[in-house]
């Protein structure tokens, strides 16, 4: 997840608007506001955290129920992903370009909660799907979540250990 600046945010919203109308939906004001919070977030948020943040910055409060409905919609048009292992939501990292989501891969850092979304145009993953199809199985949209430690957190680890030893 990379935090977006104002220019990237505008671009992402413009893309989201086009994507929604292409798929027969509409990026309403509330949907856009929820998406903006996720685009600005440093880590995935639960629906309740999202509701809290929404109500902190917006004048008209929103109910968690409505946030769930909005997230359902944003997920259905691939603008938002739900991390199943954490039940949290994040904006799609492919903010302003169309991307295939046959297989979304997420690397989840257990130390800082940052999530990296990997592009699925990877040869090995393509080969894996070809293998699956050879078995006569038609794979739907799938999601792979790999938990571990990100490189920044890993870099910090030896220092912490060293201090403990002193």
Interface positions with Zn ion (CB under 5 A): 92, 109, 111-112, 150, 153
Q: Which is nearer to Zn ion, 122 or 131 (CB)?
A: 122
- What does the DSSP 8-state code read for residue 112? T
Distance CA 96, CA 63 (A): 29
Beta strands in 12-157 (DSSP E): 80-83, 88-91, 103-109, 115-118, 142-148
State the nearest-atom distance from the C-beta of 111 to Zn ion, in Å.
4
Residue 70 to residues 44, 47, 126, Cα–Cα distance (Å): 16, 10, 31
Which is closer to Zn ion, CB of 35 or CB of 150? Answer: 150
Nearest distance from C-beta of residue 24 to Zn ion, angstroms:
20
Of 37 and 80, which has the nearer Cβ to Zn ion? 80
* Shortest Cβ 143–Zn ion spacing (Å): 10
Nearer to Zn ion, 64 or 153 (CB): 153
Question: CB of residue 65 vs Zn ion: minimum separation in angstroms?
Answer: 25
Rg of the chain over Cα atoms, rounded to whole angstroms, equals: 18
């Amino acid at each position: 997840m990379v935090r977006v600046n104002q220019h990237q945010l505008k671009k992402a919203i413009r893309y989201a608007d086009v994507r929604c109308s292409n798929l027969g939906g509409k990026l309403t004001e509330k949907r856009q506001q929820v998406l903006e919070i996720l685009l600005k977030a440093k880590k995935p948020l639960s629906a309740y955290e999202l509701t809290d943040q929404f109500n902190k910055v917006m004048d008209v409060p929103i109910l968690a129920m409505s946030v769930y409905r909005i997230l359902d919609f944003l997920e259905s048009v691939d603008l938002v992903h739900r991390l199943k292992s954490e039940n949290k939501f994040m904006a799609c990292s492919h903010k302003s370009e169309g991307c295939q989501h046959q297989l979304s891969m997420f690397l989840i850092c257990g130390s800082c909660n940052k999530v990296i979304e990997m592009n699925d145009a990877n040869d090995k993953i393509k080969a894996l799907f070809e293998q699956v199809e050879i078995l006569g199985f038609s794979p739907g949209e799938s999601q792979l979540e790999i938990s571990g430690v990100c490189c920044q957190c890993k870099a910090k680890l030896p220092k912490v250990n060293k201090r403990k030893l002193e």
